Structure 1
Amino acid sequence: MPQTADDLDAVAVRTWCSLALDALGREREAIDAINVYPVADGDTGTNLYLTVESAAAAVEAVFAAHETGTSAPSTADAVRAMAHGALIGARGNSGTILAQLLRGMAGVLAEGAGPGRLAPALAFAAASAREAVARPVEGTVLTVAAEAAAAAGRVAEGAGASTVVRVAYEGARTALDATPGQLAVLGRAGVVDAGGQGLVAVLGALVEAVSGRAPERAPAPSAAPSAVVDCPASDAPQDGPAFEVIYLLEAEDPAVERLRARLDTLGDSLVVVGGDGLWNVHVHVDDAGAAVEAGVEAGRPYRIRITHFAADRLHARPEPAQRAVVVVVPGDGLGGLCTEAGATTVLARPGEPPASGELVDAIRRAHAREVVLLPNDGDLRHTAAAAAEQARTEGVRVALIPTRAAVQGIAALAVHEPDRSFDEDVVAMTAAAGATRYAELAVAERQSWTMAGICQAGDILGLIDGDVAVIGEDVPETARKVLDRMLSAGGELVTLVLGEDVPDTLADALEEHVREGYLAVDTVVYRGGHQCAPLLIGVE
């Protein structure tokens, strides 16, 4: 329910994220349709939605971590989580700018979130977002943010939070209406700025979160007939760089300043946001490799995404395949294994589960009429369901098999046969996954109660089908006990997936243990690479 107190506490931040996500979900397609600047690629609404989705997920994670405690998260915890989630999930030019706006607000509100802090938070957010853009342009989301902050700054001292955010929202709406007169490409297309429209939706959600009352909605954005495709040649993407490059970067401030200067010579639409050692880099270039190499020189780039504008513009897409499998994997080793088996993979890094947008992107990359989706994590069931539903609206037939572990996904992929009917294939894959019991070894982070008793920090936990079944002191002994428990119910095949730092000798020892104790059971071993668990186990 919307927050009714005239305040911005942690609950209001959570509500704000939820309402903003709902608002962008409603307006996503309409915002995409009016996206003509800086590149008419029709994805601003989608990028903003994915950015806020990541922010909302980070805030939900903070609340989930407090569920077992006696206190709710603080406002500082919530706004910092929101900013961090937006940073790591930012997509596109507008999404990256929105991430910096949220980060700027969080920097002020984390020190105190009373009504008197909201106007300074909006002002700092607008200023830091403008600073993050290498070549700011008026008539964009930057202008809308600045006018919202200026309006909030004119509110009389002592006004309540709901008054401040409502005035900011109205200032943003007025500024948005003026954008076609400030940016020629918008005026010719007969549309307002798409990023600014998204920011108005986000600020409207803030009004409702703080006051409990939604502002009167502005008319849904609409594009003039053929606005995107009739955009004049001077503004069309074919006259600009060919690639959009986005990556997260671990680097220190001096290196990032050098990176900004380097990327500014390579292309345009440069936005670098973040701080405290973690940055999100966005740029449009002709030489994507050079943009990535510049990131390597500055620090450690990862989650690199490269989009070819020309391919989208010319619709140079291959004929869709009949069927594909999209699988979430916890490590690069399994990613390679699944890719060799013909699957499209999504890497789930420790502490960074994929958002629904990443799964939708993977389904699109698979470029098939029929897709089988294997999330391989029980916590991803809602995310995967949302991705499947989105893909279905785009005309893809998607079957979601609710695999709860990577070993179940391996089992399902092993029986995948694209030549049989879709329904038969899904049934066979579902049966294979369901017949696979799964386990993993983990290291206890603190003393706690478990199904197997009390564990201490540093103990090795053996989880079977998601519950702690064994508590041990070392990996080999705990793994043997887990295998014995699982094989006591029968089995024909044991699958072992070793983490990056686990020696091959462990696999050899466990294979020998199975061979000596269970004569009719075979064992296969895979290297999982960098993953959360030191060992994953499957028994079929």
Structure 2
Amino acid sequence: MPQPLDALAVRTWCSLALDALGREREEIDAINVYPVADGDTGTNLYLTVESAATAVEAVFAAYETGSAAPALADAVRAMAHGALIGARGNSGTILAQLLRGMAEVLGQRDGGAAEALLRAAESAREAVAHPVEGTILSVASAAARAADGTAPGDDAAAVAAAYAGARRALEETPGQLEVLGRAGVVDAGGQGLVAVLGALAEAVTGEASVRPAVRHHPAVTTAAEPCADGGPAFEVIYLLEAGDSAVARLRSRLDALGDSLVVVGGDGLWNVHVHVDDAGAAVEAGVEAGRPYRIRITHFAAAEHPEARERVQRAVVAVVPGEGLAGLCTEAGATTVLARPGEPPASGELVDAIRRAHAREVVLLPNDADLRHTAAAAAEQARTEGVRVALIPTRSAVQGIAALAVHEPERRFDEDVVAMTSAAGATRYGELAVAERQSFTSAGVCQAGDVLGLIEGDVAVIGADLATTAETVLDRMLSAGGELVTLVLPEDAPPELGDRLEAHVRAGYLAVDTVIYHGGAGAPLLVGVE
């Protein structure tokens, strides 16, 4: 059923777009051959949308204590601003300008989706110094033209038509751009935009979008030689506080220094992206124009050949749900990222933690099933900076503890990763939660205040008492066997809870040991069975 294009639809759009890009990120990276074959377009688009989604969530959080809901204008402007400050790479920067163009229209009282898509395509072309057909710009223009042919005011029809038009345009890109035709792929940025528009169509029409296949030629890999064609050696990106006239001069200067120039933004804040041989000159130009910050410089050759970097020590980066576990993991030698209840870390925080580890090789433990896409994007970003990263898909802190327990930095990297992955995989996980409202679960209907016992992410037990429900969860998990039970309790847990559960295991399972950790957060209890 069609939904109104309101603030809630924007929130849903962000969530669906992030999921779509998370699924397609690696495939989009693999077909990235233009403008530079550096294999990061999917990752850059994911990071850009992640920043946009975070900004939208912040708007909704500000309204949680009151009865009013955010206005559409507030949500779309937050989405555009979040994309602007978090934009990565050529395609991510263009996507940020597309969202800004949409926000200019949807922020008005009578603005509709078709008009917004037209303004988005126009503003993106204005932001690119030398627009090229067969790219994300072509896909955006085709989507806008398709939407413009629908009945005025019918947002659902407009976004559905835009998505269909974008898909058709994407298939035409290999015939528009020679490098794509030679490689046998569609444009990577265009593929990412199709995913974003598909999410918009699903959010507004209520109908799941049909995921188009990513055209991937066997000869195209992320190990392509980015500088083989004599192109610029560096990608320079920074945020810039400057006036319009200063930015106009900056565009001219950067255009003379390099290529792939995209300057997006307005109202005093800009995101600058350019490929140059002289990275210092590009930054100096920004200093002359205003105040550049969040400066990121990537050497294309170094990003593709991390083995050329000097090897240093190995490290483990772990996401942990509480201060107590953070201390435990730090003592074990890990660099930690704290995940507070309701505030999962963004991929930028994980990248920062990887950098803080100062390691040539990093094992990343997300310790949460919902962080898999975020962690994958962070790992990919760190790889472009020359760090060898192995992502172990741990879905709970107890799996991360098991992996960290067998970590041996003296082993070969691959052997260490295999051992840690095996330990995590051999650990079944469970947790307790308190139901916030009546709902249907895999174990039946629960009421607000019920204690839920989850095993491997699914509700297996509904109870009224924390300790009794925990014992039932333990019995079910141990029915398949086990040698070690790990219990993680929050700091404010009843002091007798740990003793009671340990006694329960000891009485019923003589060969099973129990270890208890304090300092978790969010869940009343985490359970691991190895």
TM-score category, normalised to shorter length = 0.5 to 0.7
- What is the match of residue 271 of structure 1? 262
- What is the match of residue 189 of structure 1? 183
Task: Choose which of 122, 133, 152 in structure 2 pairs with 1:127.
Answer: 122
Asked whether the equivalents of residues 326 and 366 of structure 1 are also in contact (C-alpha less than 8 Å), the reply is no
- What is the match of residue 164 of structure 1? 158
Counterpart code for 2:104? G
Asked whether the equivalents of residues 266 and 287 of structure 1 are also in contact (C-alpha less than 8 Å), the reply is yes
Counterpart code for 2:291? R
Alignment of 1:444-483 (within 5 A): none
Counterpart code for 2:130? R
2:275 maps to 1:281: no
2:145 maps to 1:154: no
Q: Take 2:272 and 2:186, find their aligned partners in 1: how far apart are those partners?
A: 26
Alignment of 1:159-308 (within 5 A): 160-218=154-212, 220-228=213-221, 237-308=228-299
Q: Take 1:49 and 1:249, find their aligned partners in 2: how far apart are those partners?
A: 22
Question: For residues 227-284 of structure 1, what are the alpha-carbon distances to aligned partners after superposition, in whole Å with 9 as ceiling and x for unaligned?
Answer: 24797x8x85551000000000111111111111110011000000000010000000
Instruction: Pick closer, same or farther for the CA change 1:130–1:180 going to 2, 3 Å.
Output: same
- What is the match of residue 78 of structure 1? 75
Q: Take 2:228 and 2:94, find their aligned partners in 1: how far apart are those partners?
A: 20
Question: For residues 375-413 of structure 1, what are the alpha-carbon distances to aligned partners after superposition, in whole Å with 9 as ceiling and x for unaligned?
Answer: 9xxxxx9998865576789525699999xxxxxxxxxxx
Q: Take 2:155 and 2:121, find their aligned partners in 1: how far apart are those partners?
A: 18
TM-score, normalised to structure 2's length?
Answer: 0.64
Q: Take 1:122 and 1:167, find their aligned partners in 2: how far apart are those partners?
A: 11
2:7 maps to 1:10: yes
Asked whether the equivalents of residues 236 and 275 of structure 2 are also in contact (C-alpha less than 8 Å), the reply is yes
In structure 2, the residue corresponding to 1:239 is in which secondary structure?
coil
Runs of 4+ in 1 over 4 A off after TM superposition: 228-231, 235-238, 325-328, 342-346, 370-375, 381-394, 396-402, 417-423
Question: For residues 473-529 of structure 1, what are the alpha-carbon distances to aligned partners after superposition, in whole Å with 9 as ceiling and x for unaligned?
Answer: xxxxxxxxxxxxxxxxxxxxxxxxxxxxxxxxxxxxxxxxxxxxxxxxxxxxxxxxx
Task: Choose which of 132, 137, 140 in structure 2 pairs with 1:142.
Answer: 137
Q: Take 2:152 and 2:144, find their aligned partners in 1: how far apart are those partners?
A: 15
Question: For residues 114-149 of structure 1, what are the alpha-carbon distances to aligned partners after superposition, in whole Å with 9 as ceiling and x for unaligned?
Answer: 6xx111111110000000000110000001101110
Counterpart code for 1:213? E
Task: Choose which of 29, 46, 51 in structure 1 pairs with 2:48.
Answer: 51
- What is the match of residue 32 of structure 1? 29
In structure 2, the residue corresponding to 1:214 is in which secondary structure?
coil
Asked whether the equivalents of residues 317 and 362 of structure 2 are also in contact (C-alpha less than 8 Å), the reply is no
Q: Take 1:94 and 1:295, find their aligned partners in 2: how far apart are those partners?
A: 21
Counterpart code for 1:155? T
Q: Take 2:364 and 2:160, find their aligned partners in 1: how far apart are those partners?
A: 45
In structure 2, the residue corresponding to 1:395 is in which secondary structure?
strand
Instruction: Pick closer, same or farther for the CA change 1:344–1:261 going to 2, 3 Å.
Output: farther
2:306 maps to 1:312: no
Structure 2: gaps (5+ residues): 320-332, 338-342, 381-388, 398-407, 420-530
Counterpart code for 2:139? V
Structure 1: gaps (5+ residues): 329-341, 347-351, 376-380, 403-416, 424-540
Q: Take 1:163 and 1:387, find their aligned partners in 2: how far apart are those partners?
A: 32
In structure 2, the residue corresponding to 1:301 is in which secondary structure?
strand
Instruction: Pick closer, same or farther for the CA change 1:396–1:366 going to 2, 3 Å.
Output: farther
Per the TM alignment, residue 357 of structure 1 is displaced from its structure 2 partner at its CA by 3.9
Task: Choose which of 57, 62, 66 in structure 2 pairs with 1:60.
Answer: 57
Q: Take 1:374 and 1:175, find their aligned partners in 2: how far apart are those partners?
A: 37
In structure 1, the residue corresponding to 2:259 is in which secondary structure?
strand
Counterpart code for 2:156? S
Q: Take 2:352 and 2:216, find their aligned partners in 1: how far apart are those partners?
A: 25
Per the TM alignment, residue 356 of structure 1 is displaced from its structure 2 partner at its CA by 1.1
In structure 1, the residue corresponding to 2:390 is in which secondary structure?
coil
Instruction: Pick closer, same or farther for the CA change 1:86–1:18 going to 2, 3 Å.
Output: same
Instruction: Pick closer, same or farther for the CA change 1:183–1:14 going to 2, 3 Å.
Output: same
How many residues matched?
Answer: 380
In structure 1, the residue corresponding to 2:64 is in which secondary structure?
coil
Identity of aligned residues (%): 69
Please provide the CA RMSD for this pair: 3.7
Instruction: Pick closer, same or farther for the CA change 1:398–1:322 going to 2, 3 Å.
Output: farther
Per the TM alignment, residue 100 of structure 1 is displaced from its structure 2 partner at its CA by 0.2
Alignment of 1:283-432 (within 5 A): 283-318=274-309, 320-324=311-315, 355-360=346-351, 362-363=353-354, 366-370=358-362, 394-396=389-391
Per the TM alignment, residue 223 of structure 1 is displaced from its structure 2 partner at its CA by 1.7
Q: Take 1:257 and 1:151, find their aligned partners in 2: how far apart are those partners?
A: 32
Asked whether the equivalents of residues 272 and 281 of structure 1 are also in contact (C-alpha less than 8 Å), the reply is yes
TM-score, normalised to structure 1's length?
Answer: 0.63
In structure 1, the residue corresponding to 2:204 is in which secondary structure?
helix
Asked whether the equivalents of residues 197 and 221 of structure 1 are also in contact (C-alpha less than 8 Å), the reply is yes
